[in-house]
Amino acid sequence: MATGIFKNAKVAGASTSGTTLYTVPSGKYATIHAIYCTNKYNLEDLYVNVEIIDASSNSFFIAYLLPVTANIPTVLERPINLNASEVLKITASRATSIDVVASVLEFTP
């Protein structure tokens, strides 16, 4: 029987070139329950891309140019299932201005 543990994956100030938020460890799998993006730059709305990189280095966007309003968090609340070695990556439209937290349930088979 698989056992699961809840974790938070966190990035303070995501970059414009892509920042790894979470990587599924080898031999495990995970479910992302929610992703919270907060715009700390209070002068304008920003955007974020959320993507999965699979074990073959293929990229799949979950969100592309998702608006993150100034001082108001944006939440993606749909479960996302990830397999071993897959990567959840965040790219911000302005460097160091968006913090991201993901609620992760990580399973060991």
The fraction of the chain above a pLDDT of 90, given in percent, is 94
Question: How would DSSP label each residue in the chain?
Answer: --EEEEEEEEESS--TT-EEEEEPPTT-EEEEEEEEEEE--TTS-EEEEEEEE-TT--EEEEEEEEEE-BTS-EEE-S-EEE-TT-EEEEEESSTT-EEEEEEEEEEE-
Question: pLDDT tens for residues 74-90?
Answer: 999 999 999 999 999 99
Residue 42 has pLDDT above 90, yes or no: no
